[in-house]
């Protein structure tokens, strides 16, 4: 595909799901509108929290309400869609390396809670790439199963077309 016709998300194509957000049910754990579009992971009953670097992720925060419920932040998340993100190299060495079309990704270097993203969330090429055969797995298969269930794949290398650190790329949820 020519770089002039790269895949670019036009906006969410599915409704957001309303959930509790944050690590704790108190003011210190509450998220704010500054946390919009940061990557999140499932953390318990109806609750999602911000990812750390290297985490498998479930989606991104799409909204945060001003009020809370029983101490928890309430907001919307998007779990299955396409999104623009920033390439952040390889999982083992964030900030170095490239990401290719078809690679699976995990959360890259994160922006602190309460601080707005400078542009988009960062992702790294995952060390474990889904699709390996059982015969090639050495040791525990659980990480491979988790990687397959929470898989986000690169579908466009954007205008730069390189997947280099700092370039915008597009990812989409696989198998949802």
Q: Residue ranges per domain, the chain?
A: 17-78, 81-173
pTM: 0.87
| Dihedral angle of Cα 114, 86, 169, 97, to the nearest 10 degrees | -150
Selection from 74, 64, 105, 73 nearest residue 88 by Cα: 105
SS3 category, 141: coil
Q: CA 77 to CA 21: how far, in whole Å?
A: 9
Tens digit of pLDDT at every position of the chain (176 positions): 455 556 777 666 778 899 999 988 888 889 999 999 999 999 988 899 999 999 999 999 999 998 888 899 999 999 988 999 999 999 999 999 999 999 999 999 999 999 999 999 999 999 888 766 666 666 666 676 777 778 899 999 998 899 999 999 999 998 76
The predicted pLDDT at position 45 comes to 83
For residues 78-111, b (16+ Cβ closer than 10 Å) or e, as one string? bbbbbbbbbbbbbbeebeebebeeebbbbbbbbb
Q: Where are the beta strands (DSSP E) in 126-166?
A: 152-156
SS3 category, 149: helix
């Amino acid at each position: 595909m020519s770089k002039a016709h790269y895949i670019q998300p036009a906006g969410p194509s599915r409704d957001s799901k309303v959930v509790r957000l944050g690590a704790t049910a108190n003011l210190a754990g509450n998220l704010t509108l500054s946390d919009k579009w940061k990557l999140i992971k499932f953390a318990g009953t109806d609750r999602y929290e911000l990812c750390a670097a290297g985490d498998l992720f479930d989606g991104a925060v799409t909204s945060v309400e001003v009020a809370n419920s029983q101490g928890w932040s309430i907001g919307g998340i998007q779990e299955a869609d396409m999104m623009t993100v920033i390439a952040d190299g390889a999982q083992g060495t964030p900030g170095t390396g490239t990401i290719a079309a078809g690679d699976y990704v995990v959360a890259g270097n994160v922006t602190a809670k309460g601080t707005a993203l400078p542009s988009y969330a960062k992702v790294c090429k995952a060390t474990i790439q889904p699709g390996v055969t059982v015969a090639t797995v050495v040791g525990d298969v659980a990480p491979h199963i988790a990687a397959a269930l929470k898989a986000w794949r690169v579908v466009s290398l954007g205008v730069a077309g390189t997947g280099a650190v700092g370039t915008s790329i597009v990812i989409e949820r696989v198998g949802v």
